[in-house]
């Protein structure tokens, strides 16, 4: 087998973040160098703890978890307890983690690791607001050309927004950070709502996790059953969108996704459309192409991959 791909997961768990982390931990093709937590779905104190809980659930207390930014670059923090519950990880009863949080700040960790490891070998996987990544880029501009690729969950175009009519949560929470990242020149793959709204946690799919009969399978079932209830009410669908695991699935099996290389620019001026990702899908502007924007997913293949990989934990 070729050398595993080195990744750093930047995240605000979040049940769907948790499933993304589990997918990565169940996949030998990936080596998680570290997990950096950011404020987003819930405040930082909870997201960093939730990240540790998930590592322990997967039997991986050796994974290093770092805490990063407690708030966005410019705007006030907006959280999403109505979706994820008060803890951010409502559903299963997971024990308080015994593994320690790393002392180093997540932004320092990102800079140090990217400057130390061979250039072009590390992929960043942001699953929350882009605050930590933007701060690292501002702090040490030499890291950008050393990043192999950024595969992120965020944005939405054809599907509109999920937190305002035009903005997706991760980008809306820190649009200024998203702007820094999108202008960084790093190759970017974007998993927007246009994709994730096609990856629904139907009853049948949740049952497949339950049938694993393992600790991870049962906890995943409980997380997803809690997570989908808000979106089922909102969208009237059987199941809710499973956003963040799309990022990790892309690294494992890019053929599950289809998209287009185009320009993406974030709105940071208008309050009405704040955080909107303006995707030049038809190439009608002369703005430079900066991201591969996904639009379609083989959703059955995606869930098959998830069940198979979580089944290994």
CA distance 169 to 157: 13
Q: How far is it, in rounded angstroms, from Cα 236 to Cα 74?
A: 35
Question: Does residue 250 bind ligand BDR (CB under 6 A)?
Answer: no
Q: Does 80 bind ligand BDR (CB under 6 A)?
A: yes
Q: Which one of 35, 107, 127, 189 is in contact with ligand BDR (CB under 6 A)?
A: 127
Query: Using the rule CB under 5 A, is 246 a contact of Ca ion?
Result: no
Look at residues 267, 311, 261, 310 and name the one whose alpha carbon lies nearest to residue 290.
Answer: 261
14 binds Ca ion (CB under 5 A): yes
CB 151 within 8 A of CB 36: no
Partner from ligand BDR, Ca ion, none binding residue 83, C-beta < 5-8 Å depending on class: ligand BDR
Give the burial string for 180-199 (b: 16+ CB within 10 Å, else e).
Answer: bbbebebebbbbbbbbbbbb
Q: Give yes or no: 243 in active site.
A: yes
Q: Using the minimum distance from each CB to Ca ion, give the nearer residue, 17 or 174.
A: 17
Which residues 15-34 are close enough to bind ligand BDR by CB under 6 A? 16-17
CA distances to 109, 148, 197 from 292, in Å:
27, 14, 18
Using CA atoms, how far apart are residues 306 and 252, in angstroms rounded to an integer? 11
Binding mask 83-102 for ligand BDR (x = CB under 6 A): x-------------------
Q: Which does 168 bind (CB under 5 to 8 A by kind): Ca ion, ligand BDR, none?
A: ligand BDR
Is 96 strand, coil or helix?
coil
Q: Which residues are catalytic?
A: 243
**Contacts to ligand BDR by CB under 6 A:** 14, 16-17, 41, 80, 83, 127-128, 153, 162, 168-170, 243-244
Interface residues with Ca ion (CB under 5 A) are 12, 14, 17, 127-128, 244
């Amino acid at each position: 087998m070729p050398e595993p791909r080195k990744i750093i997961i930047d995240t605000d768990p979040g049940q769907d973040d948790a499933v993304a982390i589990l997918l990565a931990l169940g996949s030998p093709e990936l080596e998680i160098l570290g997990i950096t937590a950011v404020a987003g779905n819930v405040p930082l104190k909870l997201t960093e703890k939730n990240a540790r809980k998930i590592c322990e659930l997967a039997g991986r207390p050796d994974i290093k978890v770092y805490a990063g930014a407690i708030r966005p670059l410019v705007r006030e923090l907006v959280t999403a307890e109505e979706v994820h519950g008060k803890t951010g990880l409502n559903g299963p009863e997971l024990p308080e983690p015994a593994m320690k949080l790393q002392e180093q700040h997540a932004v320092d960790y990102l800079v140090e690791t990217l400057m130390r490891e061979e250039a072009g070998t590390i992929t960043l996987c942001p699953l929350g607001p882009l605050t930590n990544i933007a701060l690292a880029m501002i702090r040490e501009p030499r890291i950008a050309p050393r990043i192999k690729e950024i595969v992120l969950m965020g944005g939405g175009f054809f599907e509109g927004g999920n937190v305002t009519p035009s903005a997706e949560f991760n980008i809306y929470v820190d649009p200024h950070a998203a702007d820094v990242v999108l202008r960084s020149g790093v190759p970017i793959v974007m998993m927007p709502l246009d994709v994730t709204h096609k990856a629904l946690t139907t009853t049948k799919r949740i049952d497949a996790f339950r049938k694993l009969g393992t600790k991870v399978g049962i906890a995943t079932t409980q997380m997803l059953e809690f997570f989908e209830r808000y979106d089922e009410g909102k969208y009237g669908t059987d199941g809710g969108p499973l956003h963040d695991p799309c990022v990790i699935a892309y690294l494992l099996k890019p053929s599950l996704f289809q998209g287009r290389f185009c320009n993406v620019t974030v709105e940071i001026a208008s309050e009405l459309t704040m955080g909107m990702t303006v995707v030049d899908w038809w190439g009608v502007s002369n703005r430079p192409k900066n991201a591969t924007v996904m639009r379609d997913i083989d959703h059955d293949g995606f869930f098959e991959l998830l069940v198979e990989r979580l089944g290994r934990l």
